[in-house]
Amino acid sequence: MPSNIRDFIRPGCRVHLCGIGGVSMSPLAEVLHTMGLQVHGSDMQESPTVVRLRSLGIQVAIGHRAENIQGAEFLVRTAAVHDDNPEIAAAHAAGIPVFERAEAWGAIMQGYRNALCIAGTHGKTTTTSMATHVFMAAQADPTVMIGGTLPLLHSGYRVGGGDTIILESCEYCNSFLHFFPTVAVVLNVEADHLDFFKDLQDVQHSFRRFAQLVPPGGTVVANADDKNTMEALKGLPLFTFAVRSDADCKAEHIAYTNGLPAFDVVVHGKHYAHVELQVGGEHNILNALAAAAAAYVLGLPAQAVEKGLATFTGAGRRFEYKGEYHGAKIYDDYAHHPGELHMLLNMSKSLGYRRIICAFQPHTYTRTKALFPQFVEELKRADLVVLAEIYAAREQNTIGISSKDLAAEIPGAVYCATLPEVTETLRQLARPGDLILTVGAGDIYTAGEALLH
C-alpha cells in the first residue's frame, strides 16, 4: 500500500474529502477534480460551496457516516476532523490511508514550477490577495488558494493553467511544513496559536523550518523591519523588504492622499515600480512590498505590480466597508491578535473620524488568556469598546475566562453576552462622524450586518 500521498494524486484515483465544504477543502476538491481524480466528500451542512461542488459533478453527502467513504482509495481530512470521526475511524479500520489537507496541497504544488507560499502571523490573506492581483495583471494564469474571499476571484481560490501556484500558508499545527515552496514569504513572526506552540521561540523555530524548505535556486523573502522574523531566519540567505530598515527591496518617497499611500519600490538601489494603494496603513505598505518582492524574484514586469496593486481594494473581512448607520460608517476586520488590533487602530486613527467604536469578539480562550495584558492595552486605544463573549472555535472553556474579565480592565467598556446585545449597544451609541469597527475572527461581523438591516 503506497504511503506517500503523491502516489495517489493521479487521474482516475478515487478520493473522499472529509469536511469538503471548508474554506481550503472546497478548492482542493476542485483542483483534484480538474486533475482527473474521482472526487466525493461529506460536510456537516448544506452551503453555497456544496451546491457549487455538486454542479461540477462532485458528490457531497451531508453528515459524516462510515458508508460515505465506500470506494475511496484515500481520504483527505480538514484539521477540524479528528480520529473519532466515523469516516476517519472507518478508513483506519479498512486500512485506507488518511492524509491531512496540507499534505494534499503540498503534493499538488510539486507539479508547479513556481510555488509562492506566503506565511506570517499577520497579513497572510491580504498579501496573498495582493500577489494574486499582480500575477493576474501579468496574465500568468495562476492557481490560487487564499484563506478569505477576494472580490477579483469572487471566492478564495482559482484553478489556473499557468506554471505558478500561490498559497496562503498557515503555521498552526505546523501545517505549512507539508509545503514545497520555491519562494517562501515571511511577513512577520509573533507569539500566537499558543494552544499549539509553547512560546515565541517555538513559533520562530517553526518559521525557520518553513524557510528551510526552499530548495537551492529558490528564494526566502523576509520582512527586515520585523525583529522576530530576522532572529528566526538568522544566517539563511534572504531577499529582504522593509520600510524603515536597510533591505534589498524598499519603499521610498512615501506620500499619503486621503490616508492612502503611494510610494516607489526600489530594488538594490534601482527603481522597480511606482505603487498607488487603495488600502491604508503602514502594514499594507509592507504587505504590498512583500507581494512586489515576490513578483520581482519571479521575474514579473513592473507594470504588473503597478496595475495589480492599484486594483486591489482589500480582501473580505480585512477593513471591509459594510455600510452606514445613523451617520456612522461600519467596517469589519478579522483582527484577532493584539498585533493586528494595533495596526487596525493605528490606521483607523489616521482617517479623521470623530470617535472609534470597537466591537471586539476575542477568538479562543487560550489566546485571550495568553495575551490578556496586550489585548487590554490595545483595546484601550479605541474611544469606546464593546466586548462580545469569547468565540470558542475549536476549544472548550476549561480556563474559566470571559470577555467580562477584559471589560473590567478597560475604562468605559461595555460587555455583551450575546451578539444581538452587541447590535443593540452599537445602535444606541452610533452618531454621525463615528467609525464603528466589528473586529474578530469569529462571527462578530453579523452584529454589524444586523445593525445595517
Which whole-number Å values give the CA distances from 118 to 145, 167, 286, 423, in the listed order?
10, 6, 13, 35
Q: Which strand ranges, in their side-by-side order, compose the sheet holding 260-267?
A: 155-158, 143-150, 164-168, 114-119, 183-186, 219-223, 239-242, 249-257, 260-267, 270-276
Compute the distance between CA of residue 370 and CA of residue 204 in angstroms, rounded to an integer.
17
Among candidate residues 168, 171, 306, 320, the one labeled active-site is: 168
CA–CA distance, 335 with 115 (Å, rounded to integer): 27
Closest listed residue to residue 187, CA positions, set 285, 109, 89: 285
Catalytic residue among 121, 125, 143, 423: 125
Active site residue 421: no
Q: Report the distance separating Cα 113 and Cα 183, nearest Å.
A: 11
Which residue type sits at 173?
A: C
Rounded (10°) angle between helices 101-109 and 25-34: 40
124 is catalytic: yes
Angle, CA of 5, 9 and 14, to the nearest 5°: 100
Distances (CA, A) of 259 to 244, 284, 286, 340, 341: 19, 12, 15, 18, 18
Q: Is 168 a catalytic residue?
A: yes
Question: b/e for 357-368, b at 16 or more Cβ within 10 A?
Answer: bbbbbbbbbbbb
The single residue listed with the C-alpha cell 486500512 is 95
Given the residues 49, 124, 306, 438, select the one marked as catalytic.
Answer: 124
Q: Which residues pair with 76 in a beta bridge?
A: 17, 99
Annotated catalytic residues are 124-125, 168
